[in-house]
């Protein structure tokens, strides 16, 4: 694990595809605005879809952070 990486960032969001939180956040930073776009950026697709709620939460958090930054 990279020294700048917190244990939270190393957590898996999608166990089926092995997608970690940092990969989801990178996809969001690159412009993904829906879970389907996150899967595409990670070269995978939804399988059991348990992670979709977590991805949506992360998308909402990013939108909220951008909203506050714009103020």
Query: What is the H or E stretch that residue 14 is in?
Result: strand 12-14
| Distance between CA atoms of residues 7 and 34, nearest Å | 25
**Per-residue confidence (pLDDT) for residue 15, from 0 to 100:** 97
Dihedral sign, Cα of residue 13, residue 22, residue 42, residue 1: negative
Provide the greatest CA pair distance for the chain. 38
In a structure prediction context, what are the per-residue pLDDT tens digits for the chain, which is 71 residues long?
A: 454 455 555 799 999 999 999 999 999 999 999 999 999 999 999 999 999 999 999 999 999 998 888 77
The reported pTM is 0.81
Instruction: List domains and CATH numbers for the chain.
Output: 7-70 (1.10.10)
């Amino acid at each position: 694990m990279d020294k700048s990486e917190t244990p939270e960032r190393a957590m898996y969001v999608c166990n089926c595809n092995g997608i970690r939180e940092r990969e989801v956040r990178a996809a969001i930073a690159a412009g993904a605005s829906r879970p389907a776009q996150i899967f595409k950026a990670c070269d995978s697709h939804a399988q059991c879809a348990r992670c979709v709620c977590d991805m949506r939460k992360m998308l909402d958090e990013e939108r909220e952070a951008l909203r506050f930054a714009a103020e």
